[in-house]
Chain A
Amino acid sequence: MTAPASPFPGVAALRQTGRLFSLALSVVRNSVRRPFQAREFIEQFWFIASVTILPTALVSVPFGAVIALHLGSLTRQIGAESFTGAASVLAIIQQASPLVTALLVAGAGGSAICADIGARTIREEIDAMEVLGVSAVQRLIVPRVLASMMVALLLNGMVSVVGVLGGYFFNVIMQGGTPGAYLASFSALAQLPDLWISELKAIIFGFMAGVVAAYRGLNPAAGPKGVGDAVNQAVVITFLLLFFVNFALTTLYLQLVPPKGM
Chain B
Amino acid sequence: MGVEVAVEGLTKSFGAQNIWRDVSLVLPRGEVSALLGPSGTGKSVFLKTIIGLLRPERGSCVVGGVDTASCSEHQLYEVRKLFGVLFQDGALFGSMNLFDNVAFPLREHTRKPESEVRRIVLEKMELVGLTGAESKLPGEISGGMRKRAGLARALVLDPEIILCDEPDSGLDPVRTAYLSQLLIDLNAQLDTTILIVTHNINLARTVPDNIGMLFRRELVMFGPRELMLTSEEPVLAQFLNGRRLGPIGMTEEKDQAALAAEQAQLRAVTDTLYGIAPQLDPSPGLPPRLAVRRRKDRVMSALHQFPIPTQRSVIASLDAADRTRYGIGAPA
Interface residues in chain A, defined as those with a beta carbon under 8 Å from any beta carbon in chain B: 1-2, 4-5, 119-120, 123-125, 127-135
Contacts of B77 in A (CB 8 A): 133, 135
Contacts of A128 in B (CB 8 A): 85, 87, 91-93, 150
Structural contact, B53 and A130, CB atoms closer than 8 A = yes
Taken residue by residue from 71 to 95, chain B's Cβ proximity to chain A (1 for < 8 Å, 0 otherwise) reads as 0000001001101010111011110
**What is the minimal beta-carbon distance from A103 to any residue of chain B, in angstroms?**
28
Complex A-B, nearest 3 residue pairs according to Cβ-Cβ distance, in ascending order: A128-B91, A124-B91, A131-B85
Contacts of A132 in B (CB 8 A): 80, 104-105, 108-109, 153
Contacts of A135 in B (CB 8 A): 77
Known: A131-B83, A132-B104. A123 touches B91 (CB 8 A): yes
Contacts of A2 in B (CB 8 A): 12-15, 57
Does B332 count as interface, using CB distance less than 8 angstroms? no
CA A130 to CA B83, docked complex, whole Å: 11
**What is the minimal beta-carbon distance from B120 to any residue of chain A, in angstroms?**
15
Number of residues of chain B lying within 8 A (CB) of chain A: 28
Taken residue by residue from 26 to 63, chain B's Cβ proximity to chain A (1 for < 8 Å, 0 otherwise) reads as 00000000000000000000001001010101000000
**What is the minimal beta-carbon distance from A143 to any residue of chain B, in angstroms?**
13
Known: A127-B48, A127-B53, A128-B85. A133 touches B80 (CB 8 A): yes
Does B16 count as interface, using CB distance less than 8 angstroms? yes
**What is the minimal beta-carbon distance from B51 to any residue of chain A, in angstroms?**
6
Structural contact, A4 and B16, CB atoms closer than 8 A = yes
CA A119 to CA B139, docked complex, whole Å: 13
Known: A131-B80, A133-B80. A124 touches B89 (CB 8 A): yes
Structural contact, A1 and B108, CB atoms closer than 8 A = no
Structural contact, A133 and B91, CB atoms closer than 8 A = no
Q: Which of B255-313 contact A (CB under 8 A)?
A: none
**What is the minimal beta-carbon distance from A30 to any residue of chain B, in angstroms?**
11
CA A127 to CA B57, docked complex, whole Å: 20
**What is the minimal beta-carbon distance from B89 to any residue of chain A, in angstroms?**
6
Contacts of B153 in A (CB 8 A): 132
Least CB separation from A1: chain B residue: B55
CA A194 to CA B12, docked complex, whole Å: 53
Q: List 6 A-B contacts (CB under 8 A).
A: A1-B55, A123-B89, A127-B53, A130-B53, A130-B80, A133-B108
CA A134 to CA B108, docked complex, whole Å: 8
Structural contact, B88 and A124, CB atoms closer than 8 A = yes
Contacts of B85 in A (CB 8 A): 128, 131
CA A131 to CA B88, docked complex, whole Å: 14
Contacts of B13 in A (CB 8 A): 2
Known: A128-B87, A131-B83. A5 touches B16 (CB 8 A): yes
Least CB separation from B81: chain A residue: A133
Contacts of B80 in A (CB 8 A): 130-133
Contacts of B53 in A (CB 8 A): 127, 130-131
CA A2 to CA B16, docked complex, whole Å: 8
Other than A2-B12, A125-B92, give 18 A-B pairs with Cβ distance below 8 A.
Answer: A2-B57, A120-B94, A123-B94, A124-B87, A124-B88, A125-B93, A125-B94, A127-B53, A128-B85, A128-B87, A128-B91, A128-B93, A129-B93, A131-B51, A131-B85, A132-B109, A133-B77, A133-B109
Contacts of B108 in A (CB 8 A): 132-134
Least CB separation from A122: chain B residue: B89
Taken residue by residue from 1 to 38, chain B's Cβ proximity to chain A (1 for < 8 Å, 0 otherwise) reads as 00000000000111110000000000000000000000
